[in-house]
Amino acid sequence: MAMTKRLTIPRPDDWHLHLRDGAMMEGVLPWSARHFARAIVMPNLVPPVVTADQAAAYRDRILAALPEGVVFEPLMTLYLTETTDPEDVSAAHTSGLVKSVKLYPAGATTNSASGVANFDTVRPILERMAEIGLPLCVHGEVTRTEIDIFDREAVFIDEVLDPIRRATPGLRVVMEHITTAEAAAYASNGGDDLGATITVQHLMLDRNDMLVGGIRPHYYCLPILKRKSHREALVRAATSGDQRFFLGTDSAPHATDTKENACGCAGCFTAPVALSCLAEVFEGADALDRLAAFTSVNGPKFYGLPVNQDTITLEKGAAISRPAEIETGAGPVTVFDPGRPLYWRVTA
């Protein structure tokens, strides 16, 4: 297609977002709210958001922290544990408060210690979710120590995800932050009950970017960056227009000093530059005409929500200037830098 300098799309949504809580949330929330209309907000706080009452209280704290005049809708999730009450989950869904339930395998990522170790214990909850149409969002990695970290996603699909879906017909599942060609292929053939989110960093970077020439802690995330061939498969999936794939930034803020140390935290804070990065990826794939599907259409369709009526406009020009860090009451947070100039900016 011919070079596009200006592109208007429906206002995007973020289908996987970490806002944290307290001073950190107050600092990072405006960066998502300025571009995204809605976001699936992750429940892995300390303690986690496991009940409807806790989700309602967290939603109220988010709304209270929004800058005046900013319109942003947090879509709440419940953290699945082996003692989660199916009746509470059902009531939270019926009320409209909760849009999904999040499955963390115990120990898989940040604040996942309360996650699921024995998947058989949660089958009654999954069956109830299938009955009422409430989606299950999964962090798709096994956590057994003998499984190499680069293989954990593929093993999860075979050992956990596929058996869960076969045992629970009709369960709507989102494979969050997929990172491999195997995951992209599984999602492509998964039917209408399966969706998959893809992050900014997994579309722009591979493990060489993180490790060659020195360790770059701000590229460390979970699931970890994979080979170039996997990144290329993710780009093909994201830019295909296939309705199963949609944006979940997994923007995950940590104070800079907790990333830059001997045992750094996992997560990339991409919210300030997410749309600029995505426009670069889609332009590079000659697929700017499919950016709206990935950022603004496919996600609402999967979750049964309307596409946003308001729009944003991106324009291409001189390289944008972006902050290296943002200040929060919980300390400075380093902004994701893909290691190359970005030329697309949100102008309206």
In whole angstroms, what separates CA 36 from the centre of its chain? 13
pLDDT digits (tens, 9 = 90+) for 241-298: 999 999 999 999 999 999 999 999 999 999 999 999 999 999 999 999 999 999 999 9
Q: Specify the range with the lowest mean pLDDT, choosing from 101-110, 130-139, 220-229.
A: 101-110
Share of the chain above pLDDT 70, in %: 97
Residue 111 has pLDDT above 60, yes or no: no
Residue labelled with tokens 């003692």? 83
Q: Where are the domains of the chain?
A: 6-346
Please give the CATH superfamily to which domain 6-346 belongs.
Metal-dependent hydrolases (3.20.20.140)
The whole-chain average pLDDT of the chain stands at 95
- Percent of the chain exceeding pLDDT 90 equals 93
- Residue positions annotated with a catalytic role: 250
User: Which of the four pLDDT bands, split at 50, 70 and 90, describes residue 182?
Assistant: very high
Check: CB of residue 208 under 8 Å from CB of residue 283. no
14 in helix, strand or coil? strand
Given this model, what pLDDT does residue 348 score? 78
Q: Using the predicted structure, report yes or no on whether residue 340 has a pLDDT greater than 90.
A: yes
Question: pLDDT by residue (tens digit) across 130-167?
Answer: 999 999 999 999 988 999 999 999 999 999 999 999 99
- The pLDDT of residue 134: 98
User: Distance between CA atoms of 132 and 1, rounded to whole angstroms?
Assistant: 43
pLDDT score, position 113: 65
User: Distance between CA 26 and CA 61 in Å, rounded?
Assistant: 9
Q: Which residue has the tokens 């039917």?
A: 191
